[in-house]
Amino acid sequence: MGKPYQSELRKLPETYRWAVSQDIEKLIYAIRTAGKYPLIAVGSGGSFSVAENMVSCQQHYFGNFARAVTPLELLSALPLNGNASVWFFSASGGNIDIKRAFEHTLLREPRHVAGMVGKLGSPLRLQCEKHQYADLFEYDLPAGRDGFLATNSLFAFTILICRGYCEAFKRGTDVPKTFDSLLSNALPHKINLNNLEKYSESLWGKTTLHVLYSNQVKAAAIDIESKFIEAGLGSVHLSDFRNFAHGRHHWLAKHEETSAIIALSVPADSELAAKTLQYIPKNIPRLHLPLAVDGAAARISSIILSLYLAGYAGRAKGIDPGRPGVPPFGSKIYHLRAKSGFVNSIDHVEIAIQRKVGTRSDYLSEERNKLWLRAYRSFKKRILKARFGGLVMDYDGTVVDSRNRFVPPTSAIVGQLVRLLSAGVVMGFATGRGKSIRKDLQSVIPKKYWKQVVIGYYNGAEISFLTDNHVPDSTSPPCSDLQKILTLLKNDIEIISLAKVEPRKMQLTVEPTSIVPENLLWELAQDELVTQNSLLVDVYRSSHSIDILARGVSKSAVVKRVVKESDAKVDVLTIGDRGKWPGNDSVLLKHAFSLSVDEVSSSKDTCWNLCPAGVRGPQGTLYYLKNLIPVPEASLRAVKFKSLGE
């Protein structure tokens, strides 16, 4: 099993060239999304080193809480409220642990899920087709499949993640263009890959290796431990330089003759490393590798050192790390399929209530659970009985994916919209957008149905049919109240440094120009407005901006217009994704018959999310639309649900 380790090392420069040349725009977008939340990075074996590298980047660039976990540790790491970005790393996406953990996470519905795999058409791809809100990055790596240990996949993922963070945060890169320039700038004086084996040869006669590290290169230290243990090269103890001072050094006092040290430092703490090492008994072999760079270059070059050191140790000990041989009992343990606590399905009632209360049902008291179960059954009975002659939907995050919001709806969504229009349904779209939505819808909806389509531009400030190309008005200055607020916002140092403000007659849109937590701009805007009691405005939050609306402007105006245009004998259904205040659909989804495809309010009577577990956004909208069928009554041009949440 495996392949010669030295042959894998020879491919590292090729992997580097490939990784620095890849188009990573979608990866950058996903990293920017991750920057809004606490991060959980998941990996096993060598992929755990990649997870730790992402944690280091997240903490360095965004200052967010971040934690690397194994798939099994993930069970207790996922926050109950789902407020996290969860990333998975796997060379092939095929091992049972990563598959189970990925499915489990998608069903638990954290705010963001992403995966990175070194194989096209991996098993995780099939799971993402069922749960389309996840981001999956699959790569056809030039070095092919790794041997026994993670090598080129680990190296490629490390470079891609470092590039992604550098470019997401700075709109530039700290990753050198070539493999040689990286190492020439990073490696300490007089050390290169040709003589590193000589400098390290005194270490390999010892059975216990102590790896001391700087925080920035912790991933490399973890990778050394992983490779030495997995290939049977020796026992490894890990510690940062200061934790080593708290008793870890005592091992050396008792086991001098069997111990050796590798120290990895960066310029910020090279002095700390040097002074620590000078107090260690001289007869203990040590190799200090003080990298001459910080940041991305340090993270990537330290991984190269980890890969090469494992190769040198293997050669000295007569073990090929790329094919050390797997014992029969090890293979049996790897392929275990015993129960481990991961879920592979969640009941539709349980997930609907979980979305309402923000935690799992087993955390609720018996009485509270009964109350919500009664509310769920009442709402579901009522909405299944209703007949709908009108349908009003939010657009971004509901009809089109926020990741692809500058392209028209998918053919699957369009097919359902046209089917419902042909059944006589009056359709409304309530959006914060201007004319771009009109152009998108005119490009996909047949012209014969345009008179059945109502658009509420700028959150309902202007309402017209899809046939009307003269609406909305994007040239008039803001009304007096909004003009005063515009002046306030432009004088706020934080707002103007983090966002741009787009003024319209009845709406101000505050859109971030840098990566900020979702609630930050909303809080900054509210802070400016809290003392302006005379200004009559409302402030709402969408997935990509803050909307400040003149008083009286509301998406509910679109509902009223659709009610007017549809049969008086039937009801109107509303669908959105941000139903929880201050979400920009919170008013729209207060309607009696309202469904969310993401966030919900705490109301027991409205704004339920009845999508299957792990279904969100336009995929959830598609689920609802597919379940709407024409009513049997010939006198009504209306539809009803054939089923929901089943």
Inter-axis angle of helices 179-186 and 295-317, nearest 10: 90
Express each pLDDT in 214-267 by its tens digit: 999 999 999 999 999 999 999 999 999 999 999 999 999 999 999 999 999 999
Q: Distance between CA 48 and CA 303 in Å, rounded? A: 13
Residue among 26, 31, 139 nearest 85 (CA) = 31
Q: Is the pLDDT of residue 447 over 80?
A: yes
Instruction: List Cβ<8 Å contacts ≥24 apart for 129-136.
Output: 130/106, 130/614, 131/106, 131/107, 131/614, 131/615, 131/616, 131/619, 132/401, 132/615, 132/616, 132/617, 132/618, 132/619, 133/614, 133/615, 133/616, 133/617, 133/619, 134/106, 135/26, 135/30, 135/33, 135/403
pLDDT for the residue 624 = 98
Q: Distance between CA 193 and CA 561 in Å, rounded? A: 72
Q: Which two tokens stand for residue 288?
A: 């200090």
Map out the domains of the chain as residue ranges. 1-175, 186-321, 386-472+553-641
Q: Distance between CA 225 and CA 220 in Å, rounded? A: 9
Angle at 365 between CA 363 and CA 369, to 5 degrees: 90
Q: What is the percent of the chain with per-residue pLDDT over 70, rounded to a whole number?
A: 99
Q: Domain spanning 1-175 has what CATH number?
A: 3.40.50.10490
- Type and span of the H or E element at 176: none
* CA distance to 20, 435, 466, per residue, from 475 (Å): 44, 12, 20
Q: Which two tokens stand for residue 184?
A: 């020439």
Query: What kind of fold does domain 186-321 have according to CATH?
Result: Rossmann fold (3.40.50)
Q: Which amino acid is at 265?
A: S
pLDDT for the residue 466 = 98
Highest mean pLDDT among 91-95, 187-191, 466-470: 466-470
Q: Distance between CA 175 and CA 20 in Å, rounded? A: 8
Mean pLDDT of 338-367: 90
pLDDT for the residue 23 = 96
Q: Distance between CA 572 and CA 577 in Å, rounded? A: 17
pLDDT for the residue 1 = 59
pLDDT for the residue 273 = 95
Residue among 550, 483, 541, 468 nearest 510 (CA) = 541
pLDDT for the residue 171 = 58
- Range with the poorest average pLDDT among 202-206, 545-549, 624-628, 632-636: 632-636
Under the banding of pLDDT at 50, 70 and 90, the label for residue 559 is: very high
Express each pLDDT in 256-270 by its tens digit: 999 999 999 999 999
* CA distance to 58, 148, 340, per residue, from 115 (Å): 16, 22, 21
Query: What is the average pLDDT value for the chain, to the nearest integer?
Result: 94
Residue among 49, 299, 62 nearest 174 (CA) = 299
pLDDT for the residue 167 = 92
Q: Report helix, strand or coil for 277.
A: helix
Q: Is the pLDDT of residue 397 over 90?
A: yes
Mean pLDDT of 404-422: 96
Under the banding of pLDDT at 50, 70 and 90, the label for residue 173 is: low
Torsion of CA 29, 124, 223, 167, to 10 degrees: -10
Residue among 307, 261, 313, 257 nearest 288 (CA) = 261
For strand 453-457 and strand 462-465, is the pairing parallel, antiparallel, or unpaired? Answer: antiparallel
Mean pLDDT of 428-441: 96
Give the chain's length.
646
Give me the sheet containing 286-290, strands edge to edge: 235-240, 208-213, 259-265, 286-290
Token pair 């493999």: residue: 179
- Give the list of residues 6+ apart from residue 191 with CB closer than 8 angstroms, or none: 199, 289
How many other β-carbons are positioned within 10 Å of the β-carbon of residue 234? 18
Under the banding of pLDDT at 50, 70 and 90, the label for residue 536 is: confident
Mean pLDDT of 392-416: 95
pLDDT for the residue 638 = 93
First to last CA, the chain: 45
* CA distance to 28, 514, 622, per residue, from 171 (Å): 10, 10, 36
Q: Is the pLDDT of residue 637 over 70?
A: yes
- Give the list of residues 6+ apart from residue 88 with CB closer than 8 angstroms, or none: 42, 43, 98, 101, 102, 105, 113, 114, 115, 116, 124
More confident residue, 335 or 277: 277
Under the banding of pLDDT at 50, 70 and 90, the label for residue 626 is: very high
Mean pLDDT of 390-415: 95
- Give the list of residues 6+ apart from residue 355 with CB closer than 8 angstroms, or none: 109, 596, 600, 608, 609
Residue among 269, 281, 290, 276 nearest 199 (CA) = 290
Torsion of CA 152, 158, 161, 162, to 10 degrees: -130
- What does residue 323 show for φ and ψ, rounded to 5 degrees? -155, 70
The alpha carbons of the chain give a radius of gyration, in whole angstroms, of 29
Of 3.40.1580.10, 3.40.50.1000, 3.40.50.280, 3.30.2310.20, which CATH number belongs to 386-472+553-641?
3.40.50.1000
Q: Are 542 and 582 within 8 A, CB to CB? A: no
Inter-axis angle of helices 295-317 and 46-62, nearest 10: 160
Q: Which two tokens stand for residue 359?
A: 């935690």
Burial 414-433 (b: 16+ CB within 10 A, else e): bebbebbbeebbbbbbbbbb
Under the banding of pLDDT at 50, 70 and 90, the label for residue 401 is: very high
Q: Distance between CA 575 and CA 497 in Å, rounded? A: 34
Angle at 297 between CA 295 and CA 303, to 5 degrees: 105
Mean pLDDT of 509-532: 84
Express each pLDDT in 103-154 by its tens digit: 999 999 999 999 999 999 999 999 999 999 999 999 999 999 999 999 999 9
- Type and span of the H or E element at 128: helix 123-130
Q: What is the percent of the chain with per-residue pLDDT over 90, rounded to a whole number?
A: 85
Paired strand residues for 211: 238, 262
Q: 1-175 with 386-472+553-641: one CATH topology? A: yes
Express each pLDDT in 30-66 by its tens digit: 999 999 999 999 999 999 999 999 999 999 999 989 9
Q: Is the pLDDT of residue 339 over 90?
A: no
Q: Is the pLDDT of residue 294 over 80?
A: yes
pLDDT for the residue 172 = 59
